[in-house]
Amino acid sequence: MPAETCPGIIIRSQSGFFTVQTEGGILTCHLRGRLKQGKHVGDLAAVGDRVQVTSQLDGTGSIEVVEPRRSSLVRLDPRPQGVYQQVLLANPDQVVFVFACAQPAPHLRMLDRFLVIAEKQHLPALIVANKIDLVGKAKAEDLFGFYPNIGYRVLYTCARTGEGLEELSKHLVGKETALAGPSGVGKSSLLNTIQPGLGLAVREISEAFQKGRHTTTVRQLFPIQGGGYVADMPGLRSLALWDTDPEELDGYFPELTGLVQHCQFNDCTHKNEPGCAVRAAVEAGSVNPGRYESYLKLRAGVE
């Protein structure tokens, strides 16, 4: 019985079932068996994938084709039979990293690691400094203010008062965005305020600072008004920098890429070699010392 296919986008995936948004509505689908044949080293279908589906008489659907991805946010998962590529999000246009100015205190070395991951996966990154009500704009700019100098835009927001949310919305419209950041920084709160009606679970203040699991655990794309989708991505903390050569790291720090060619040794590790242009720039104050610390930490991790 040949059925007509129609295009759609996977907006949710759970236990082998995919929720697909099509023009005609939402369809719960499974992956057509023949797509699973042969060897595969990563997720065949993931949230964000553009697909072709057919609908069955019982009202469910079947994914017939997964279109090639134009980008993806991937986590490598070591398994006994080899490293498996887990696709956290297919086809993102950008990643938005949300950190709080306080409660929890921003861990900028973690932000730097996220930025390197975005660079490595060729995804434009935007930084959101949320909870500015807790510290004031001036202190917030003390914390995050140098990032624009190295090419990362910073938006200052407050999910409580709505400050900065109009600008954030502008950056989200028409794009597919991965929203990431530590637990408790207000990712779900921001989405709820931008898009009333989503009703995402937000942690109670009393539990907000307990370490452990994210309140948000299901991977899902939310359509936003005016077009586009946002994915609230829990658990990026465990996203390791995989398969990266130490020298490659230079290329993922935008403020270092133009400098390294001026180091005296072309295999300079920028730690303590004589004639190191990176160290000279740190000492002269043109490279942020915290970023240099992040560089050394990451470099030690991939060596």
Ligand X SMILES: Nc1nc2c(ncn2[C@@H]2O[C@H](COP(=O)(O)OP(=O)(O)OP(=O)(O)O)[C@@H](O)[C@H]2O)c(=O)[nH]1
- Binding residues (CB under 6 A) for ligand X: these are 130-131, 133-134, 158-160, 183-189, 202-203, 205, 208, 214-216, 234
End-to-end CA distance of the chain, in Å?
56
- Residues 170 and 263: their CA atoms lie apart, in Å, by 41
- Comparison of 45 and 256: residue with beta carbon closer to Zn ion: 256
Closest contact distance (angstroms) between CB of 98 and ligand X is 6
Q: Please, are residues 153 and 127 in contact by the beta-carbon 8 Å criterion?
A: yes
* Between 148 and 162, CB nearer to ligand X: 162
CB closer to ligand X, 106 vs 184: 184
CB of 181 to Mg ion, least distance (A): 9
Contact between 249 and Zn ion (CB under 5 A)?
Answer: no
Q: Does 268 bind Zn ion (CB under 5 A)?
A: yes
54 binds Mg ion (CB under 5 A): no
Instruction: Name the segment binding Mg ion (CB under 5 A); options: 110-118, 187-195, 238-246, 294-302.
Output: 187-195
Q: Which is nearer to Mg ion, 134 or 302 (CB)?
A: 134
Count of residues engaged in binding Mg ion, rule: CB under 5 A = 4
Unique residue bearing structure tokens 């993922």: 252
Nearest Cα residue to 232 out of 212, 217, 253, 246 = 217
Residue 94 forms beta bridges with which residues? Answer: 177
Give me the least distance between CB of 217 and ligand X, in Å please.
8
* Closest residue by Cα to residue 207 from 130, 135, 107, 104: 104
User: In sequence order, what are the residues at sequence separation of 6 or more whose Cβ sits closer than 8 angstroms to the Cβ of residue 133?
Assistant: 158, 160, 161, 163
CB of 241 to Zn ion, least distance (A): 20
| Residue 285: both structure tokens together | 């104050």
Considering the rule CB under 5 A, would residue 130 count as an interface residue with Mg ion? no
CA separation for the pair 92, 67 (Å, rounded): 14
Q: Bridge partners of 29?
A: 18, 61
Please state the closest distance from residue 91 (CB atom) to ligand X, in A.
Answer: 22
Judged by beta carbon, residue 178 or residue 287, the one nearer ligand X is 178
Provide the minimum distance between the beta carbon of 160 and ligand X in the complex, in angstroms, as a whole number: 4
- What six digits make up the tokens of 51? 């697909």
Distance CA 132, CA 129 (A): 7
Q: Which residues bind Zn ion (CB under 5 A)?
A: 263, 268, 270, 276, 278
